[in-house]
Amino acid sequence: MIVEEGSAKIFAPNVNYKGPGKIEGVFYNREMIFNRDTTIFILFNLNIRRALDGMAATGVRGIRIMKECGIDTVFNDISKEAVEIIKKNLKMNGLEARVENRNINALMSEERFDYIDIDPFGTPVPYIDMALLSARILGITATDTATLAGRNRRVERRYLSTLNSPSHYAHELGVRNLLGYLARMAARFDRGISPILSLWHKHFYRVYIRILPGISRAKESLKNVGYSDFGGPIWIGNIHDFQFLESARIPEGLPTEKTMRKYLALWKGEKFFLFYHLPTLCKKMRISTPSIYKVIEKLRDENYEAYRTHFSLEAVKTNAPRSVVEVILREIS
């Protein structure tokens, strides 16, 4: 099947239309278009010269990076079938690039890249150490969201953490768990991390981080790793680079441009640790849940910052203390 995504036109022997799926062999996943669009959004706004699409499959992400961001990209996949499909798709798009058929860890142990993209099926843990040593900027997908959010005990051995969170906090804590793990692993190599963008969407978490060499950077990064009321260790610092988000432009022609604009507006307000989930809070207070817009308006009238969050559309991120939020909820419910 011939598929078009952004500026890329590719041949895909299998197309998956829903979720991470269980299709064997090389396949194109329509559900990951937004995932790939975030990559284009990030790289379009950064000065990147050389990238690695480390688990390239059909090569669609790397082809889009080349065509839409103008970045020299190396393609790699452990599947020989995938390598042949990537070569075919590069030719179809009028591109020339190096294509490797290797274990990604072996490749990353030998070379350095400005940007590395790791998009595995399941956990990214087996690839993190080498990526931290090889990349200047790293984009990582994790589809083991239940584990990262503490919904099973694998979190204790896989991410070396313990979480026991209410369902409404699961996804923010899952993302923070992944960032905390990255920071702790990076510190072993005298490196720190700095998040550029962190998100949850449907069935995956995705983080983009800068990797900062040096003992002082490692120590500074570890200051952002700690414990919450629901466990840890997790990342307790900023999950986005807000200066980057304020200046970043959404490139024209993104397949999910409308979704990207909606998410970007939400990301810009995610300045605080966790949030107030209004239905849960109001249930405890035995009052009806008021309009989230009225709550935000009232908080801002009281000179507090208040925003919505992509982690829960029924929640408010604010620097107001809980006592103030509860007074406002009683007033307007």
- 222-235 mean pLDDT: 97
Q: Record the tokens describing residue 85, joined without a space.
A: 């499909």
Q: Record the tokens describing residue 188, joined without a space.
A: 């072993």
Give the pLDDT band of residue 323 (cuts 50, 70, 90): very high
Task: Report the share of the chain in percent with pLDDT over 90.
Answer: 94
Asked whether residue 191 carries a pLDDT value surpassing 90, the answer given is yes
Give the pLDDT band of residue 17 (cuts 50, 70, 90): low
> Where exactly does CATH 3.40.50.150 map onto the chain?
2-267
Give the pLDDT band of residue 189 (cuts 50, 70, 90): very high
Asked whether residue 21 carries a pLDDT value surpassing 60, the answer given is no
Give the pLDDT band of residue 25 (cuts 50, 70, 90): confident
pLDDT at 14: 83
Give the pLDDT band of residue 20 (cuts 50, 70, 90): low
pLDDT at 19: 58
> Where exactly does CATH 3.30.56.70 map onto the chain?
276-332
Give the C-alpha distances (Å, rounded to integers) separating 187 from 175, 182, 236, 238. 19, 9, 16, 18
Asked whether residue 24 carries a pLDDT value surpassing 80, the answer given is no
Task: Report the share of the chain in percent with pLDDT over 70.
Answer: 98
CA distance 134 to 50: 12
Asked whether residue 223 carries a pLDDT value surpassing 80, the answer given is yes
Q: Which CATH class is domain 2-267?
A: alpha beta
Find out whether 282 and 304 touch, Cβ atoms under 8 Å.
no
CATH code given to domain 276-332: 3.30.56.70
Asked whether residue 23 carries a pLDDT value surpassing 60, the answer given is no
Give the pLDDT band of residue 167 (cuts 50, 70, 90): very high
Asked whether residue 130 carries a pLDDT value surpassing 90, the answer given is yes
Give the C-alpha distances (Å, rounded to integers) separating 78 from 82, 86, 112, 128, 286. 8, 12, 19, 17, 56
pLDDT at 16: 72
Q: Record the tokens describing residue 211, joined without a space.
A: 């990797």
- 72-88 mean pLDDT: 98
pLDDT at 13: 87
